[in-house]
Structure 1
C-alpha cells in the first residue's frame, strides 16, 4: 500500500476520535456542570519509507476546565462556583469533584447531591443541617447558616493544572493528583441560587461536526483517487509486460 494511503487512514481515525468527543459534548449540552471533552493530536514521523512520512497520532483526550455560564434558579440549595475551584461529594471510592452545585436536604438534614451522594466540607466530612432550621443561607466562602447558627461550610477545592482528570458520571471528575482546599475567597467562591451550565457551545460544536464530516469525505475521496491511480498503474504495467 502506498504511504499516502496509510497517512489518509491515520487522518480518518483521528477524525473519528474527534467526532466521538464532539457527539458526547453535544449530548450533554444541558447537563449542569458538565465539562467538555477535548482531544489533542500529535504528529508521528515514520522513517520506514524512502522519505520521512508524517502520520497523525491516535489522539489523547482531556477534560476542558473552562467555566460554563451561571444561571439564576432562586433555589437556596443551588450554588454555582465562581473562579477555578470545585465542590466535592463522597463517591463510592473517595471524594469526587464537581461544578454541579445542585443539592438537596434529606428529611434527616443530610446535605446531598441530586444523585444522593453526601456533600463534603473542606475536611472531607459530610454536612449535616437542621431539617427544622429553616432555609439555609450560603455565603461566598461556603459557610452555611440557618437562622443565627452556623451549620458547616461547603468544601471548595483547587485541582493542580497539571493533574489529569477522569470522569465520574456526567459532571464529576477524579484527578490523578490531590486537590487542595481553596483559601483565597477573593478569587473563588460560591453563589447561592445559581447553577452552572455545561461549558459546551452547541453552535460551535455542531459547526465542528460539519467540518469534520467534510474533512472525512475529502480524505475518503483522496484515498479513492489514490487507489484508482495505483490500480491504473498496475494494469498499465501488466499490459506492458504482457505485450513484451
Structure 2
C-alpha cells in the first residue's frame, strides 16, 4: 500500500508536467513559427520478487517472474517538426520556409540563433532584422530608396530603385538544416541554439541539394499547434491524473482500515 501511494504520486507528477506542456502549446497557438512539444514518458525501475528465468526446480525455470513497477517519469519533450499553416500577409518582409530548415540570426553575444519565424523588419540602417533587432544572417541590407522588394523561392533578394528599369540583386537568404532538429535547444523568443544532439547546421540555398525548403514571400508560417489535439491530450492528462489520485485515495483508505483493526 505504501508502494501504491508513491507509485501513484509519480503518475500525478508526470501528468502535471504533461498539462504544463499542453498549456505552453496552447498559449503559443498564435506564435508565428512556433514548434509544439510532446512529452515522452518512461517506466521506473521494477522490484523483482521473482526474477524472470530464475530456477523453479532443477529442471524448470520461471516463465514470467513477479515484478512490481514503481511508477513513471517524464524523460523528454519532443519538438514536433511538422509544417504549420501558412497565412498570407502581403508584407514583403514576411517570409515562410516551405519544407525543412531555419533562418539564421545573429544574437547579441555573437552566437547564431535559428528560427522558423519569418517576421522580419528593417532597422535604421536598412538591415533586415527580427522584432528584437537581431540581424538576419548572412546580413542583408535594403537600400533606403528601394521601391519594391522581391524574394525568390531560392532566397535571391532583388529591389527596384528610382530611375532603374531592371531589378538589382542586393543579397540572398540562406537556410540552415539539421540532422536532428528535435535536438535544438529552445531559448525563447522563437529562437533555437544548436547542440551536440542536433548536430552542426548545414547551410545551403533554399530548395537546393541540401534538402532545405523553399521560401515564400508575403507569407507567415503559423504555429504547428493543433488546438483540437491539444484539448484531447488535456482531457486524457486530466483523466490520468484523476485515476492516479483515486489510487492514492484507495491506498489511504486501506491504511485507515488497518489502523482501525489495530485498535
Partner of 1:40: 40
Q: How far has the Cα of 1:43 moved from its partner?
A: 1.5
Count residues in correspondence.
234
Looking at structure 1, the residues matched to 75 and 232 of structure 2 have their Cα atoms a distance apart, in angstroms, of 20
State yes or no: 1:224 paired with 2:245.
no
SS in 1 for 2:142: coil
State yes or no: 1:198 paired with 2:223.
yes
1:28-81 CA distances to partner (integer Å, 9 max, x unpaired)? 111111111221111222237675332212332232212211111111110100
Q: How does 1:91-240 map to 2 (within 5 A)?
A: 91-93=107-109, 94-121=111-138, 126-147=139-160, 148-161=167-180, 164-176=183-195, 177-183=199-205, 185=207, 188-236=213-261, 238-239=262-263
Q: Could you tell me whether the CA contact under 8 Å between 2:102 and 2:176 is conserved in 1? A: yes
SS in 2 for 1:226: helix
Looking at structure 2, the residues matched to 181 and 205 of structure 1 have their Cα atoms a distance apart, in angstroms, of 33
Looking at structure 1, the residues matched to 2 and 124 of structure 2 have their Cα atoms a distance apart, in angstroms, of 69
SS in 2 for 1:42: strand
TM, length-normalised to structure 2? 0.83
Partner of 1:242: none
Looking at structure 2, the residues matched to 107 and 228 of structure 1 have their Cα atoms a distance apart, in angstroms, of 69
SS in 1 for 2:137: coil
Looking at structure 1, the residues matched to 96 and 7 of structure 2 have their Cα atoms a distance apart, in angstroms, of 45
Q: Could you tell me whether the CA contact under 8 Å between 2:81 and 2:182 is conserved in 1? A: no
Gaps of 5+ in 2: 51-65, 161-166
Q: How far has the Cα of 1:89 moved from its partner?
A: 0.8
TM, length-normalised to structure 1? 0.89
Partner of 2:53: none
Q: Write out the 4+ residue segments of structure 1 that deviate beyond 6 Å after TM superposition.
A: none
Partner of 2:18: 18
State yes or no: 1:53 paired with 2:68.
yes
Q: Could you tell me whether the CA contact under 8 Å between 2:39 and 2:77 is conserved in 1? A: yes
1:126-150 CA distances to partner (integer Å, 9 max, x unpaired)? 2112121222100011110112211
SS in 1 for 2:146: coil
Looking at structure 2, the residues matched to 34 and 22 of structure 1 have their Cα atoms a distance apart, in angstroms, of 14
Q: How far has the Cα of 1:216 moved from its partner?
A: 0.9
1:110-140 CA distances to partner (integer Å, 9 max, x unpaired)? 111122110112xxxx211212122210001
Looking at structure 2, the residues matched to 225 and 173 of structure 1 have their Cα atoms a distance apart, in angstroms, of 45
